[in-house]
Amino acid sequence: MAVCPHEWLLYCRPGFEKDLSAELADKTAHAGQGGYPIAARDSGHVRFVLDPETPANEVHLALPLEALVFARQSLVAFPPLEALPRDDRLSAIVDLVVASGWSFESIWQETPDTNEEKALAGLMKALRKPLESTLSKRGALRRKAGGRRLHLFWTAGDRVQLAMSFPGNRAEHLGGIPRLKFPREAPSRSTLKLEEAWHVFVPREAWPTRLSDSMQAADLGAAPGGWTYQLVRKGMYVYAIDNGPMDDVLMASGQVEHLREDGFVWQPPMRLDWLVCDIVDKPMRVIDMVERWLVAPWCHEAIFNLKLPMKKRWDEVSRCLERLASSLDQAGIRARIRCRHLYHDREEVTVHVCLLD
């Protein structure tokens, strides 16, 4: 009988382990699943140990990655293999893979997003070919295996955790980190937040219809124009609302109308396609403003950030999302709400709302 995994391995931004643990404990309890998190501060990952009677795949399916806020990656896992001998790291890895009965199409070796673990790059490179060759000979690595992927998560030279991911319920980037190139002409690095948000929240095949040059958008708190830049690059006409100065090149595009007004009180002249907002303020004040836009409704879709300087970040995120969902429901507004702590976010999360009208 194959060995069954009973751990859930999730990656996160270092420093947010406590927040991810709180989210997992809350959501598994609501789903009627038992277990507990194991996380070290600034480790960049959380192990969620499930009850022995609960297969990890059951929780992995019930709480998919897209429904989680602070997770970058979500994997079904075994407990870590520890104290691996330096002269033979492969045997224990291969033995566990064979005992699991797993088969997969590719192997990813990863480390937490910390400087210490990046020193393991040489080890992973040295192991790649012999690992692939051995697992291929043992029938675990093969061409057709349902798109499944084996992850080797190294936290030390003698410590690795084996995990599996499945198509449609995983991040398709090493470490769960998208590699976006900063456009030199963009006014600020915050531009990458909105670009990443589109990759996460809007399916690529829908970009021609949901991010097109026939659209109009509002950017609240726009200066100097990092988010406005992304809207303009998509060909949209943008109302840039901010008392601060906007980038001269953006203004020369002819696609931006800069209004020196308060983003919390400004109202658009017509219903727009997009609202985006990266204003630094209390999260609930931003929720109040976005609610007004969505109930009116003054836009079809919205992407906005909630700044989280407080200690209990998951509690605040949960409170804000519940308030937004409740308000829209009471107003009879059907909407899809998603929230993620993106790679380019720091002490904030990004929320996407799409009205279903």
Catalytic residue among 144, 234, 307, 311: 307
Radius of gyration of the chain (CA): 22
In the chain, % of residues over pLDDT 70: 99
pLDDT-based confidence at 192, cuts 50/70/90?
Answer: very high
Q: Cβ neighbours of residue 269 under 8 Å, at least 6 residues apart?
A: none
- Residue 177 predicted with pLDDT over 80: yes
310 confidence band (pLDDT: 50, 70, 90): confident
- Check: CB of residue 218 under 8 Å from CB of residue 274: yes
Inter-residue contact 353 to 294 (CB < 8 Å): yes
Q: Does domain 7-168 have CATH number 3.30.70.2810?
A: yes
- Alpha helices by DSSP H, listed for 63-110, are 90-100
Q: Measured between alpha carbons, how far is 323 from 206 in angstroms, rounded to an integer? A: 28
Q: What's the whole-number average pLDDT of the chain?
A: 95
pTM of the model: 0.95
Integer CA distances (angstroms), 102 to 91, 134, 160, 196, 242, in order: 16, 14, 17, 32, 54
Q: Which residues contact 286 (CB under 8 A, 6 or more apart)?
A: 277, 279, 304, 305, 306, 307
The CB density around residue 138, as the number of other CB atoms within 10 Å, is 13
Mean pLDDT computed over 230-237:
97
Query: In the chain, where are the structural domains located?
Result: 7-168, 191-355
What pLDDT, on the 0 to 100 scale, is given for residue 32?
A: 86
Please tell me whether the peptide bond between 297 and the residue prior to it is cis, using omega within 30 degrees of 0: yes
- As given in the structure block, the two tokens for residue 332 are 């009879």
Same CATH fold, 191-355 and 7-168?
A: no
Query: Is there a catalytic annotation at residue 137?
Result: no
Helices 283-295 & 313-330 angle (0-180, nearest 10): 20
Q: Does the domain formed by 191-355 have CATH 3.40.50.150?
A: yes
For residues 186 and 230, what is the distance between their CA atoms, to the nearest angstrom? Answer: 8
Asked if pLDDT for residue 115 goes beyond 90, the answer is no
Following CA atoms 265, 266, 272, 276 in sequence, which dihedral angle do they give, to the nearest 10 degrees?
Answer: -70
Which position has the token pair 């990004």? 350
Phi and psi torsions of 337, nearest 5°? -115, 130
Distance set, CA 212 to CA 148, 231, 241 (Å): 34, 9, 21
Residue 55: pLDDT band with limits 50, 70, 90:
confident
Q: What is the pLDDT of residues 27-41, one digit of tens each?
A: 999 988 889 999 999
Whether 352 and 301 have beta carbons less than 8 Å apart is answered as yes
Angstrom distances, CA of residue 329 to CA of 292, 332, 336:
13, 5, 11
pLDDT tens-digit map of 123-149: 999 999 999 999 999 999 999 999 999
User: Closest Cα to residue 286, out of 259, 260, 254, 308?
Assistant: 308
pLDDT of residue 1: 54
